[in-house]
């Protein structure tokens, strides 16, 4: 009998009452390793109720005490991050060092949130008018929902909940039902760090749970990461219910390689950014745009490196693990076939990969397609797998037009040794995150993450200054007091409590 992955409600595990479950598989073996509870409306309302009940006391907890808990959580996470990495590899499939990197990038946001006393500081103007002072404060919005995808079961939630908690909100995290256990591990760590019951909750489930989070009036804000169609639905539904929303959608990230670029550097970057985490990254490079006569040499370099990648079980010495489910593996493979039918040139075929692992794993090796054109589905659609498409362009202007015509605007990169071209690209490209000789331009936690166009619904990006703004509301206070002398003595040292 397999284990049941439960909800985390008001500081403890809770089975729920729906009776519905879904299987959780190990992608490297195809075996069902657990079942996850799927909430009904009543289950969702109970978990939301726990967050709502805990909010007033947490809102009124001093910033210093909140920061102390954040620091303790950070230390525990640093001590035990290998445990979390193993859970991610077991349920998602990515190799262990990639999972460890995911935890590390999430921890950057935890460390950023430890500075919340400074991040929430307001402004003060004395004598704005005669004996009248004006100051600004930021206050938490209330219970918030975080709906996270399968590809980063630890990092994406950590883009949001450290700042949400640090700024005085309570949280309901709805992880993907494909890899739900990391969320419970994080919940236990919060409890050990001293977070009060009800401040961090985990609601397991599917669309029923999501819809309740989007419409329940007790939830005041929603953070979402996923595909563009779902992001658009989340944004429309939650804003109609009066919530503030940051919904990060899909991507089709391009890397432009100019003549004169270091082609060895560019080829390494295309392989690393295209096939890391089996291409299941919203910031993966899925299109390489080769400009001018460099195309053949660049493709040859990418192909040689692609063929050297070892695909296998993420707990071993593989470079790339399996895809998350068999259905997703088959969907990605169908795009390869569609590209060939449409006239793309198959340079490296990952469909017949000999993986180092169980024959029942969800294997698909890295695939390289050349001479892809913009009308092909392998170009237009977000594939979310280890498929890199090479498009040829005659000039920088033609390449830029191709990138800017794409409906997505998450990230874009340029590889060049020409500083003028790089500066022009960063100014002209229509993408929220830009890399110059950097293939995956994910900013550090003190900057904000987010794209343009169909890659983002709402105005707020994740973490950084945008994250603090999103989870708080500004308030301006104007005061005038009678001029009374102070009375009483207090000789003790002032305390930061």
Q: Which residue among 9, 114, 282, 288 is the active-site one?
A: 282
Strand-strand pairing, 12-14 and 7-9:
antiparallel
Whether 288 sits among the annotated catalytic residues: the reply is: no
Catalytic sites, residue numbers: 282
């Amino acid at each position: 009998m397999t284990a049941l992955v439960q909800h985390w409600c008001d500081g403890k595990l809770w089975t729920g009452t729906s009776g519905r479950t879904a299987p959780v598989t190990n992608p490297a073996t195809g075996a069902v390793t657990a079942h996850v509870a799927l909430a009904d409306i009543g289950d969702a309302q109970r978990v939301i109720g726990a967050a709502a009940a805990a909010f007033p006391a947490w809102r009124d907890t001093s910033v210093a005490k909140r920061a102390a808990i954040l620091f303790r959580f950070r230390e525990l996470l640093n001590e035990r991050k290998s445990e979390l990495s193993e859970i991610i590899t077991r349920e998602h499939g990515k190799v262990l060092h990639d999972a460890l990197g995911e935890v590390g990038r999430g921890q950057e946001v935890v460390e950023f949130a430890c500075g919340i006393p400074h991040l929430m500081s307001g402004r003060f103007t004395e004598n704005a008018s005669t004996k009248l002072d004006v100051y600004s404060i930021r206050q938490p919005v209330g219970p918030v929902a975080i709906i996270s995808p399968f590809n980063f079961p630890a990092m994406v939630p950590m883009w949001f909940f450290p700042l949400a908690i640090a700024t005085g909100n309570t949280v309901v995290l709805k992880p993907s039902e494909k890899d739900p256990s990391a969320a419970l591990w994080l919940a236990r760590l919060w409890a050990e760090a001293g977070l009060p019951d009800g401040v961090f909750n985990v609601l397991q489930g599917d669309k029923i749970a999501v819809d309740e989070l989007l419409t329940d009036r007790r939830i005041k804000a929603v953070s979402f990461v996923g595909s563009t169609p779902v992001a658009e639905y989340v944004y429309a539904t939650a804003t109609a219910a009066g919530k503030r929303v940051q919904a990060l959608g899909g991507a089709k990230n391009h890397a432009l390689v100019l003549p004169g670029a270091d082609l060895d550097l560019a080829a390494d970057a295309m392989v690393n950014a295209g096939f890391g985490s089996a291409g299941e990254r919203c910031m993966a490079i899925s299109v390489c745009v080769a400009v001018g006569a460099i195309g053949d040499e660049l493709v040859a370099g990418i192909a040689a490196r692609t063929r050297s990648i070892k695909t296998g079980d993420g707990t071993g010495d593989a470079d790339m693990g399996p895809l998350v489910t068999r259905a997703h593996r088959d969907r990605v493979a169908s795009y390869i076939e569609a590209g060939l039918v449409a006239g793309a040139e198959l340079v490296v075929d990952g469909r017949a990969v000999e993986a180092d692992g169980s024959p029942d794993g969800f294997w698909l090796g890295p695939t390289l397609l050349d001479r892809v054109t913009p009308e092909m589905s392998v170009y237009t659609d977000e594939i979310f797998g280890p498929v890199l498409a090479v498009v040829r362009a005659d000039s920088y202007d033609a390449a830029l037009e191709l990138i800017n015509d794409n409906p997505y605007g998450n990230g874009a990169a340029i590889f060049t040794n020409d500083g003028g071209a790089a500066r022009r690209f960063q100014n002209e490209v229509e993408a929220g995150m830009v890399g110059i000789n950097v293939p995956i331009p994910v900013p550090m936690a003190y900057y904000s993450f987010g794209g343009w166009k169909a890659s983002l619904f709402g105005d707020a990006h994740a973490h950084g200054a945008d994250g603090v703004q999103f989870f708080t509301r500004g308030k301006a206070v104007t005061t005038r007091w009678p001029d009374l002398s102070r009375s009483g003595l207090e000789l003790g040292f002032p305390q930061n409590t």
